[in-house]
Structure 1
């Protein structure tokens, strides 16, 4: 004797699926006629943000001035190449080229000092300590190089 199971479950509650599919969307917000973008002004900008921007401007100025100073010294040494050769001209060319190389080397170090200082002023002590650590390592490397 075989029994068949009826697919109909008795006692089930009928569900209306049309309501479940429809999402309730809120009505759109009214549009203003003068919807201009909001640009932060100096009055609404927090003080630490303006200090950060000032620090970044100092860093960019330092890098620009360092590069221009180095380039100017190197161009001046090239211009001296056209003068008649003498001991004084050779010394001046040598001094100008060493000054250009020194300006190129010192500029990133000064940038690191300014960045560390501005980070410390902004209260980002972790990154200020990183900058101080890098400066310390540079000092140790220069000190070790001078004794060698």
Structure 2
């Protein structure tokens, strides 16, 4: 029993089609159920962008970009932590001018590594987004980098 859609004056006609696809399990000749083949998924369970068809090459590139970012963040944190722990180890040495300078250099290096790591991560993310063709988000990353550069430039002149 279907009824005609209501007529609205002044409206633009739009054809709306509501379809639902259901995949039922197949029954083999022996009476046992066959399982459907597994759907390909990314290893990192990355979200799928609606309306965009992803090929295996695009998924592989996306996962490679995520792996680069995770390695970068992990490496930056490890580098910073190592420099800070080295400065703490130098605290146990007898106090001298050389030890104080070394401690100061190590702690400034640790702080610099902590500050630079997210900026480099933003560069890598923007590059991988551009390679994947997501220009909107690549431009966002470039805009944030530009604002950071502007802020650093303004801070150096003050």
Equivalent runs, 1:54-133 vs 2, <5 Å: 54-133=64-143
Aligned residues: 121
Greater radius of gyration (CA): 1
- Larger relative helix fraction: 1
Which stretches in structure 2 are left out of the alignment for 5+ residues?
1-23, 43-54
Aligned match of 1:9: none
Q: Distance in 1 between matches of 2:113 and 2:86?
A: 14
Q: Distance in 1 between matches of 2:85 and 2:117?
A: 18
Q: Distance in 2 between matches of 1:136 and 1:59?
A: 20
With CA pairs under 8 Å and 6+ residues apart, which has the higher RCO, 1 or 2? 1
Using the size of structure 1 for normalisation, the TM-score is: 0.75
Using the size of structure 2 for normalisation, the TM-score is: 0.70
Q: What is the CA deviation profile of residues 100-125 of structure 1, one whole-angstrom value per residue up to 9, with x for unaligned ones?
A: 00000000000000000000000000
Give the alignment's Cα RMSD to 1 decimal: 2.4
Aligned match of 1:35: 35
